[in-house]
Structure 1
Amino acid sequence: MLELRFIREHLDLVIEKTARRDKESALLETFATTDQQRRGLLAEVESLKNTRNSVSEQIAVLKKDGDVAKAEELITAMRQAGQRIKDLDEQLREVEENLQQIVMAIPNLCDDTVPVGRDEQDNQEIKCWGSKPQFSFSPKPHWELGEELGILDFERAAKISGARFALLTGFASRLERALINFMLDLHTQRHGYTEVLPPFLVNTPSMTATGQLPKFAEDLFRIEGRDLFLIPTAEVPVTNIHRDETLNEDELPRKYTAYTPCFR
């Protein structure tokens, strides 16, 4: 997420780069208007609070000097100012919440080296590894092979869960487990990662910290009546392990790897 101050100070740059991602500029126009509104409210609140503090000192002096009438007049005025401050604080809170939602919806900026394109036809191949195999026959997709081998059962998966699910059996199940172990062993034994088994349910702050909220709110699986979401990827709980913590430089880097189901 971009910092509010960065967006404010580099608004033209943010507009230009978000346009490269084919994003509408209306969101940034709303940001500019809302940010200006926030700063206006903040300035008025701070001015009133400073005035109240100054007048409070005057009231104390007037009471000490016996000028009760003038003191009461100022007290009445400060009551009105206090109510105004209360109203402005509430407005400011609402505007700041709205501004935060806007900021979280603004995408990260593409690096200058990223080519601009409308679709995959404009993609540029940067690097290619290996060579594509050539077959003397027409290769079949994995779902056809899986059914023919009796290791993928889509019909029973649909009965159990619905469309777009697969029931793995026999060799396919072992292959899935082997790939999971291969990935975890490779990262922990060769690359120095620490394996973790995180919770599969996370709260709103965790989803927000990784950018799932508010952008994908309608696509997430949520536990009704509780602030818990099924994770769409292991990235969410793993990234949040040290959320709101300050780590010493000599403790870095921290490298974690995990396998989890992905609910999406």
Structure 2
Amino acid sequence: MLDLRLIREDPAGVQAALATTGIAAPIAEIVAADERRRALLTEVEALKAELNAGSKLVGRTKEPGEREALIAANRALGDKIAALDEAAKAADAHLQELMLLVPNVPLPHVPVAADERGNVVVAEHGAPADLGFPAKPHWELAETLGIIDFERGVKVSGSRFYVLRGDGARLQRALIAWMLDLQTQHHGYQEVYPPALVLEQTLVGTGNLPKFGDALFRDAHEDK
């Protein structure tokens, strides 16, 4: 999540940076929601100070009638504080919802372009091999070798899925094992095997929600 202070201090700059990506983020709404939340919190703190002073005054007041009036006033003040507290919580929740709609701003040196044709080559390593014939994309080679089955993948899971077969399945398993061994044995990482299902808040924290909500599977009964 983007730092709220950045939006608060330079909303126009954030809006301009995001505009280069084609994303219309609710920056103006965030600024307004932040101002409302802060105003509510300021009012609550002022009323709490007033209530604290009123409570001390009750303790010093001896006359019964005056004391009862002060107690009633403090009770009404407490009710007002409770209502404002709820309003502040609602304002904060609304602000957080808006903040989740704002992606990271691109770095200044990132080229601005309408599509991938505007990408800039940053570095090249080695030279492309001269095969002497037109190279085929990997998906065509895999299908020719019989190690990938697009038709069956679509049949069982829908579009853009595939089934790896034979050496294709072995290759994927080997690559996974190689990557894990390399990182854990030579680069100081620790291998973990996390649960297959996670809570909604976990996906929010990792940036998957709300953006990819429509593409995720959910167990509504277990998501607390």
Note whether the superposition's TM-score is higher than 0.5.
Answer: yes
- Written as runs of structure 1 = structure 2, the 5 A alignment for 1:19-58 is 19-24=19-24, 27-58=26-57
From the superposition, tell whether residues 224 and 72 of structure 1 become closer, same or farther in structure 2 (CA, over 3 Å).
Answer: closer
Is the 8 Å Cα contact of residues 184 and 191 (structure 2) preserved in structure 1? yes
1:127 paired residue number: 123
CA distance in 2, matches of 1:227, 1:76: 43
Aligned match of 1:169 = 165
Give the drift of 1:56: 1.3
Q: Using the alignment, how far apart are the partners of 1:16 and 1:93 within structure 2?
A: 30
Cα distance, 1:85–1:113 mapped onto 2, change above 3 Å: same
SS at match of 1:218: helix
- Give 2:59's aligned residue: 60
Number of the residue aligned with 1:149: 145
Question: Partners of 1:125 and 1:140 in 2: how far apart?
Answer: 22
Matched residue, 1:244? none
Instruction: Give how far 1:34 is off.
Output: 0.6
Instruction: Name 1:77's counterpart in structure 2.
Output: 73
Query: Which gives a bigger RCO, structure 1 or 2 (Cα 8 Å, sep 6+)?
Result: 2
1:137 aligns with 2:119: no
* 8 A contact 2:143–2:149 mirrored in 1: yes
Give 1:32 shift: 0.9
Matched residues in 1 for 2:123 and 2:5: separation? Answer: 37
Matches of 2:16 and 2:3, distance apart in 1: 17
Percent of counterpart pairs with the same letter? Answer: 43
Q: CA deviation at 1:53?
A: 1.0
Partner of 2:2: 2
Runs of 4+ in 1 over 4 A off after TM superposition: none
Amino acid at match of 1:40: A
Match of 1:213 in 2: 209
> Taking structure 2 as the reference length, what is the TM-score of the superposition?
0.88
Q: Does residue 103 of structure 1 match 2:102?
A: no
TM norm structure 1: 0.76
Listed as ranges, the gaps of 5+ residues in structure 2 are none
The answer on 1:196 being equivalent to 2:192 is yes
- C-alpha offsets along residues 167-209 of structure 1, whole Å, 9 cap, x if unaligned? 2222212211222222222223333322222222211232122
Cα distance change, pair 46–198 in 1 and its aligned pair in 2 (3 A): same
CA gap 1:51/1:107 in 2 versus in 1, 3 angstroms? same
Cα 1:23–1:170, aligned 2, differ >3 Å: closer, same or farther? closer
Q: Where does residue 178 of structure 1 map in the other structure?
A: 174
Amino acid of the structure 1 residue aligned with 2:223: D
Which one-letter code corresponds to 1:16 in the other structure?
A: A
Distance (Å, rounded) in 2 between the aligned partners of 1:163 and 1:51? 63
- Displacement of 1:214: 2.2
